[in-house]
Chain A
Amino acid sequence: MIISKITLSNFRQFRGKQEIHFAEPGEKNVTVVHAENGFGKTALLNALHWGFWGKTTSDFTEPDKIITDSLSAVEGNRDLEASVEIWYSHQDEEFCLKRSLSIAQQRINPKSTQVELRRVAHGVPEEPPYLNPGSKIEAHLPRAMGDMFFFNGENLDQLSLEKNASHIKDAIYKVLGLELLESAENIAKESVSALNAELRKHADHDAQALIDQQAQCEEILSDLNNEKSELEKNTAALSKDVINLEHQLEANKEAKIEQQRRKDIDNNIKNLDKHLADKEEEIGKFITGRAYYLFASDLVLSGKSAVQRLEQQGKIPAKFTSTVLQDVLNSGKCICATNLSDHSECRKAIESLIEAAADRSLDDATQTIKTALSNFSSIEGYEEEFIKLKTKHDELKSNLSQLRDERKEVSRRIKGLDDEDAQDLEGQLQATTEKIRGYEYEIRDKEKTISEKEKLNHSLNEQIGAAKQSNEAASLLQRQREITEQSRKLMVKILEAEKEDLRTHLNTEISTEFTRIMLHKYDANLNSDFRLKVEKDMGHGTQSVGLSTGQRQITSLVFIAALVKLARKRKDIPTILAGLWGGDFPMVMDSPFGQLGETYRGKIAEWLPTIAPQVVIFVSDSQWRGPVEEQVDQKIGKEYILEYHANALKENASEKAVIRGIQYEQFIEDEEEFTKINAI
């Protein structure tokens, strides 16, 4: 998909009809929109989200007021309508979509918008519009992709946090077509249930009971999954609240310093937690593999001394065994050829030797024990190793506990700041974090129950498949459900194989892009749970790295760039999903340099135009000047500046922007508040 134009009509502060033409793919593929904070950058980003999907981003204030109060209050505006029109091309076809909302509708239900999608032929939208515009748009650009590709750089660092692995998984599934397989598997699952219901009518009593049991089990599973997904949604919503609260706290100067300190502590806690878990696993493995040595130490010592005693007494090793002497007696002749007749002296002498001689099996057993005991000679080494592991573990635990105390102390200081707002925000932040922790426990509980029920469901499924049927109709239905079940299982295997295949490709892209950008010798990759990991090579292995906010932002950006690149190559990767196309997608970024230092700004600015065929950047004057301007300047195809009208200038904003040495007015004092889009 390539976006050619967006037209805004009365969308938020963009009054009247205003438009932006986007730079096309090629040498100059970058569109830059200059704007101070608060002049309309986020509203512009949200015009795209709202236009495509009728939704806005979580950080967009007053999302239910697409038409502003000041505009709707004007007499004569009763029939006013807000709209966003987007012209785009997709797979060699052109489309025009228009989403609109009237004042009346906004008052009743602002979420209920009108959307029309038309194919464009020779520059003119065709009639009639598509019947299912929402599905069409979702097929051209799924919402999950929009969240990835049209983003606010200020919050981008969150994507690389482990807790956001599910967003990453969603995006990969949607962007790379795996969602199609997942849904197809669901259809197969529903078909098995439908065939089960039919089989129940024809089946014998035992099979009927099994089918009923399975239906009940599936119902419970479905409820559990719904409850789990509800909890996950709540957690995600609260996580967004946490981000907003953290940002608000950062806006308070005093709190900002403490907030940063707490974030650093959080990073250290996360790292130590990981090391502690690794150490616990190491100790666990040690105990499973060798711990019996440790607990057997007393037995080993007493065994060794018993053997030693027998050796000293000359009892082992045996000089001769009772078996040999018995054989001699049985033969009636000694080895020296003397006859061993009954009651003879020689016979009596040999009989007395038998009593003193060792039993063969006892001798062998003693030797075996001796060899086994010698294997315990390294026991002291094991003890030492175990003590080392345990000491390291205790050290980590104590450091962790110190950090947690330190964190509490910082939180207490933030709460104790002589600033009511900061105190209030801190209180809210702590309560929200506590709630999230509670939800996370509940989710883990649900997961455990779901896993148990899934096992039961699987077993019932097998039993239904194996149950004997006494009539032909039931046998046929049973075969049909069995083959459908096999198909479903094959889909699961195929999905897993494709997922792993794509993860490998994605990791190659991530690693390549990451090493291009990162100044440190770190490597980034996605593990099998879709957690984005950054590690450094320690020579004898790798170690997870705690990242700063800026570094996390770069990691997230690299992931998105890798995804855009892989989407373009999708059609060249072997798959059973015939007909998947390689997609070109634009990247639209609001303040992509927000959290970055000067060195990284330059590097990212040089890199951005190369990562997607079409790049759109919304940037403030202070973020633009210097390395960003130097690197991006030659790549600009279209350029705009937002001119903000209001009765007062916002804090920290400047009236003029300087672009390539030329000054542009970006603030006009005015009774009315609105924003104009001016082409440069």
Chain B
Amino acid sequence: MEPKSKSQELFIAADNQVGQIVAKAVELERNRRRDGTKTPKNELVKFIKETVS
């Protein structure tokens, strides 16, 4: 198994919902940069509400 970096270890150790939100925020920001769209704040809030219910 490949050695994990400290950031990967932090991510793995995080609570499931917390991890999902981090991954989603990074994904939204990456898409925003790729497509040149506006800050996806509302999309993240929508995702949070679906995930934490």
CA distance A132 to B17 in the complex (A): 33
Establish whether residues B10 and A195, one from each chain, have CB atoms under 8 Å apart when the complex forms. Answer: no
Establish whether residues A487 and B21, one from each chain, have CB atoms under 8 Å apart when the complex forms. Answer: yes
Q: Does A579 contact B (CB under 8 A)?
A: yes
Q: A486-507 vs B: 1/0 string, CB under 8 Å?
A: 1100110110011011000000
Establish whether residues A480 and B8, one from each chain, have CB atoms under 8 Å apart when the complex forms. Answer: no
Establish whether residues B18 and A191, one from each chain, have CB atoms under 8 Å apart when the complex forms. Answer: no
Cβ 8 A contact of B44, one of A181, A191, A493: A191
Q: A574-618 vs B: 1/0 string, CB under 8 Å?
A: 111101000000000000000000000000000000000000000
Q: Does A136 contact B (CB under 8 A)?
A: yes
CA distance A480 to B34 in the complex (A): 28
Establish whether residues B28 and A184, one from each chain, have CB atoms under 8 Å apart when the complex forms. Answer: yes
Establish whether residues A486 and B18, one from each chain, have CB atoms under 8 Å apart when the complex forms. Answer: yes
Cβ 8 A contact of A574, one of B2, B25, B39, B41: B2
Contacts of B25 in A (CB 8 A): 184-185, 187-188, 191, 487, 491
CA distance A479 to B29 in the complex (A): 24
Contacts of A138 in B (CB 8 A): 33
**Residues A184 and B26 in contact in the complex (CB < 8 Å), given A476-B53, A480-B48, A494-B11:** yes
CA distance A188 to B21 in the complex (A): 8
CA distance A191 to B10 in the complex (A): 22
Cβ 8 A contact of A480, one of B26, B35, B41, B52: B52
CA distance A500 to B22 in the complex (A): 20
Establish whether residues A187 and B41, one from each chain, have CB atoms under 8 Å apart when the complex forms. Answer: yes
Cβ 8 A contact of B29, one of A187, A195, A573: A187
Contacts of A132 in B (CB 8 A): 35-36
**Residues A575 and B8 in contact in the complex (CB < 8 Å), given A184-B25, A486-B18, A490-B22:** yes
Establish whether residues B7 and A576, one from each chain, have CB atoms under 8 Å apart when the complex forms. Answer: yes
Contacts of B53 in A (CB 8 A): 476
Establish whether residues A575 and B34, one from each chain, have CB atoms under 8 Å apart when the complex forms. Answer: no
CA distance A479 to B36 in the complex (A): 32
Establish whether residues A497 and B10, one from each chain, have CB atoms under 8 Å apart when the complex forms. Answer: yes
CA distance A483 to B24 in the complex (A): 13
Q: Does A550 contact B (CB under 8 A)?
A: no
Q: A183-225 vs B: 1/0 string, CB under 8 Å?
A: 1111110110011000000000000000000000000000000
Interface residues in B2-45 (C-beta closer than 8 Å to A) = 2-8, 10-11, 14-15, 17-19, 21-22, 25-26, 28-30, 33-36, 39-42, 44-45
Establish whether residues B4 and A574, one from each chain, have CB atoms under 8 Å apart when the complex forms. Answer: yes
Contacts of B51 in A (CB 8 A): 483
Establish whether residues A180 and B52, one from each chain, have CB atoms under 8 Å apart when the complex forms. Answer: no
- Tell me, rounded to whole Å, the shortest Cβ–Cβ distance linking A341 to chain B: 81
**Residues A139 and B45 in contact in the complex (CB < 8 Å), given A479-B52, A483-B21, A493-B10:** no
Give how many A residues have a beta carbon under 8 Å from the other chain's beta carbons.
40
Contacts of B34 in A (CB 8 A): 135, 139
Contacts of B10 in A (CB 8 A): 490, 493-494, 497
Q: Does A131 contact B (CB under 8 A)?
A: yes
Residue of A nearest to B6 (CB): A497
- Tell me, rounded to whole Å, the shortest Cβ–Cβ distance linking A115 to chain B: 12
Total CB contacts across the A-B interface at under 8 A? 109
Contacts of A479 in B (CB 8 A): 52
Contact size class for B? 35 or more
Interface residues in A491-533 (C-beta closer than 8 Å to B) = 491, 493-494, 497-498, 500-501
Contacts of A57 in B (CB 8 A): none
Cβ 8 A contact of A187, one of B3, B44, B52: B44
Establish whether residues A135 and B5, one from each chain, have CB atoms under 8 Å apart when the complex forms. Answer: no
Establish whether residues A188 and B2, one from each chain, have CB atoms under 8 Å apart when the complex forms. Answer: no
Cβ 8 A contact of A494, one of B22, B28, B41, B44: B22
Establish whether residues B45 and A501, one from each chain, have CB atoms under 8 Å apart when the complex forms. Answer: no
Q: Does A432 contact B (CB under 8 A)?
A: no
- Tell me, rounded to whole Å, the shortest Cβ–Cβ distance linking B32 to chain A: 8
Q: Does A134 contact B (CB under 8 A)?
A: yes
Q: Does A267 contact B (CB under 8 A)?
A: no
Establish whether residues B5 and A574, one from each chain, have CB atoms under 8 Å apart when the complex forms. Answer: yes
CA distance A460 to B7 in the complex (A): 28
Establish whether residues A494 and B29, one from each chain, have CB atoms under 8 Å apart when the complex forms. Answer: no
- Tell me, rounded to whole Å, the shortest Cβ–Cβ distance linking A52 to chain B: 15
Contacts of A268 in B (CB 8 A): none
- Tell me, rounded to whole Å, the shortest Cβ–Cβ distance linking A502 to chain B: 10
- Tell me, rounded to whole Å, the shortest Cβ–Cβ distance linking B12 to chain A: 9
CA distance A430 to B11 in the complex (A): 51
Contacts of B35 in A (CB 8 A): 132, 135
Q: Does A248 contact B (CB under 8 A)?
A: no
**Residues A576 and B26 in contact in the complex (CB < 8 Å), given A187-B40, A490-B11, A497-B7:** yes
Residue of B nearest to A139 (CB): B33
Establish whether residues B41 and A194, one from each chain, have CB atoms under 8 Å apart when the complex forms. Answer: yes
**Residues A187 and B28 in contact in the complex (CB < 8 Å), given A476-B53, A487-B21:** yes
Residue of A nearest to B40 (CB): A187
Q: Does A484 contact B (CB under 8 A)?
A: yes
Establish whether residues A490 and B18, one from each chain, have CB atoms under 8 Å apart when the complex forms. Answer: yes
Contacts of B28 in A (CB 8 A): 184, 187
Cβ 8 A contact of B22, one of A139, A487, A497, A501: A487
Cβ 8 A contact of B48, one of A180, A183, A483, A577: A483
- Tell me, rounded to whole Å, the shortest Cβ–Cβ distance linking A187 to chain B: 5
CA distance A124 to B33 in the complex (A): 26
**Residues A483 and B17 in contact in the complex (CB < 8 Å), given A184-B28, A187-B40:** yes
CA distance A476 to B50 in the complex (A): 12
CA distance A191 to B28 in the complex (A): 13
- Tell me, rounded to whole Å, the shortest Cβ–Cβ distance linking B43 to chain A: 9
- Tell me, rounded to whole Å, the shortest Cβ–Cβ distance linking A498 to chain B: 5
**Residues A181 and B48 in contact in the complex (CB < 8 Å), given A476-B53, A490-B18:** no
Q: Could you list which residues of chain A lie within 8 angstroms of chain B, going by C-beta atoms?
A: 131-132, 134-136, 138-139, 180-181, 183-188, 190-191, 194-195, 476, 479-480, 483-484, 486-487, 490-491, 493-494, 497-498, 500-501, 573-577, 579
The 3 A-B residue pairs with the shortest CB-CB distance in the complex, in nearest-first order? A135-B36, A132-B36, A574-B5
18 A-B pairs with CB atoms under 8 Å apart are A136-B36, A139-B33, A180-B26, A184-B22, A184-B25, A184-B28, A184-B29, A188-B22, A188-B44, A483-B15, A483-B21, A486-B15, A487-B25, A490-B11, A490-B14, A490-B19, A491-B25, A497-B5
Q: Given known contacts A139-B34, A480-B52, A494-B7, what 11 new A-B pairs fall within 8 Å (CB)?
A: A134-B36, A184-B26, A186-B39, A187-B44, A190-B39, A191-B25, A194-B45, A497-B6, A574-B5, A576-B22, A576-B26
Q: Could you list which residues of chain B lie within 8 angstroms of chain A, going by C-beta atoms?
A: 2-8, 10-11, 14-15, 17-19, 21-22, 25-26, 28-30, 33-36, 39-42, 44-45, 48-49, 51-53
